[in-house]
Amino acid sequence: MTPAAAPVADVVIAGAGPAGRALALACAALDLRTLLVDPRPHRPWTHTYGSWTHELPADLPTDVVAARGRGVVVAERTHQLDDEYVVLDTAALQEHLTDPAVAVRRGRAVGAVPAGAGRHPAVLLDDGTASPGRVVVDATGARQSLGRRSVTDGGPRAEQTAFGVVVDREVAARVSEDRLLFMDWRPRHGRPGWPTFLYAVPLDADRVLLEETSLARRPGLPMPELRTRLRARLRAAGLSDAEIPDDDPAAVEKVRFPVDSPRHRSPAGVVAVGAADPLVHPASGFSLATSLRLSPRIAAAIADALRGGADPAATARAARRVIRSPAAVTVHALRRRGLETLLSMPPADVPGFFDRFFTLPPAHRRAYLDARDDVTASVAAMTSLFGRLTPRLRLHLIRGTLLGAQSVRTEQQRYAPGPGS
């Protein structure tokens, strides 16, 4: 299908989740005609979003933060973290990122028309129509709806999964001791196999989310297993069946998303953001704060390119250089190697690994979790961690590093911008 010659917008964004909304807001602030396409653009967001305070934009409104506190990690030892962790008010975040200046079209993106001679790129919709623009953005998450598919993209993905329930604060305190538990690795669920941890965070002054979480497995641990583990953990803490609302859809949160999606194969004139890109942190699964911080920079790159007369392919490349700089690609490749090492780690060693990770100085922890384009800081953090590991864990890490040296180079090539992207 060939879209109309004149674009209806400067920027067309497929996907009205946090990454898409954040970029649309930033583009509209620069007076770019912005169109947001989504099958349910006004549906309320329901996921819980958390982040370290230092990762968030400095100008984020205070009412977007629902709760905050110093996180605690319980592994072989208990670690009181120096950094403040915040839980966002999801409804307030969605309202903050919604700009009436952004046009909205209801429709499901199923593909993209690449830019060509005399032709603008466009978002193809499931009704057979297209929304063209001077540049197109894929913010459809791990689905990568606008990316070109490849036979090499198949196979099970490494997934982070979680099953949680929302309970009154007084009930949660009997489990968490009224602490913000970033990770509680104690195996109180009594189940064998891959270890999971309890994530217990306040949603506001009265409610707490208690979530049994698996960082990454290929494929991810199934929901019934996580639900069984959570129920057993909460029963072990003294909660009654009536106090565990795991059969109430309004009180349940289910999480499943890949942490190792393939590089977005972007048609000419198309750029991916957020989880579609997919520079999601392979270890933590975090991507929201990165999307919020990068959106103004991506929008500025698009605006500068368009106002300089760049064609759609060049405009997309300018935006991609912000998202996928050589340093960011290298750091992501190192993190992906770390993910593979974690996936192959003997289950009994995983809590001990994280016990030592959280003995790192705050600067090193921040570098590993947040320094997405600082190669030196990332390597320094990994080196410091290596020095704190037990001989057994060091041996496992050495094997993973030696076997994965070629994998890091492959990942750098895999995520680096290609000649046509």
Quick: pLDDT tens for 43-62: 999 999 999 999 999 999 99
Q: Is 70 exceeded by the pLDDT of residue 311?
A: yes
Say if residue 413's pLDDT is above 70. no
Question: 63: which 2 tokens?
Answer: 């009412």
pLDDT of residue 402: 52
**What does the chain come to in residues?**
421
Binning pLDDT at 50, 70 and 90, where does residue 408 land?
very low
Q: Check residue 341 and give its pLDDT.
A: 85
Listed in sequence order, the residues at least 6 apart from 228 whose beta carbon sits closer than 8 Å to its beta carbon are 189, 191
The pLDDT of residue 356 is above 90: yes
Looking at 145-154, 279-288, 292-301, 303-312, which range is the least confident one?
145-154
Q: Is the link from the previous residue into 278 a cis peptide, with omega within 30 of 0?
A: yes
Q: How confident is the model at residue 411 (pLDDT cuts 50, 70, 90)?
A: very low
Tell me what pLDDT residue 410 has: 47
Query: With contact defined as beta carbons under 8 Å apart, do 411 and 333 qualify?
Result: yes
Residue 282's SS3 state is: coil
Residue 194, judged by CB atoms within 10 A of its CB (0-12, 13-18, 19+), counts as: middle
11-44+92-153+261-323: CATH topology is FAD/NAD(P)-binding domain (3.50.50)
Res 403: pLDDT = 52
94: CB partners within 8 A, 6+ apart: 18, 21, 44, 45
C-beta neighbour count of 382 within 10 angstroms: 19
Q: Can you tell me the distance from the alpha carbon of 268 to that of 113, in angstroms, rounded to the nearest whole number?
A: 8
**pLDDT tens track for 76-97:** 999 999 989 999 999 999 999 9
Give the chain's mean pLDDT. 89
CA angle 337, 338, 342 (to 5 degrees): 120
Query: Rounded mean pLDDT of 153-163?
Result: 84
Q: What is the pLDDT of residue 395?
A: 82
The closest of 259, 266, 413 to 336, measured between CA atoms, is 259
At 153 the pLDDT is 57
pTM score, whole prediction: 0.90
Provide the sign of the torsion angle of the four alpha carbons 153, 154, 160, 161, taken in this order.
Answer: positive
Domain map of the chain by residue range? 11-44+92-153+261-323, 159-258, 327-415
**Where residue 401 falls among pLDDT bands split at 50, 70, 90?**
low
Look at 227 and 219; give whichever has higher pLDDT.
Answer: 227
Query: What is the structure's pLDDT at 188?
Result: 94
Virtual torsion, Cα 104, 88, 85, 191, nearest 10 deg: -100
Hey, what are 2's tokens? 């060939």
- Which residue stretches of 177-309 are H helix? 223-236, 288-307
b/e per residue 53-65 (b: at least 16 CB within 10 A): eebbeeebeeebb
Tell me what pLDDT residue 409 has.
46
Residue 6's pLDDT band (boundaries 50, 70, 90)? very low
**Three-class secondary structure of residue 274 per DSSP:** helix
Sign of CA dihedral 322, 325, 329, 331: negative
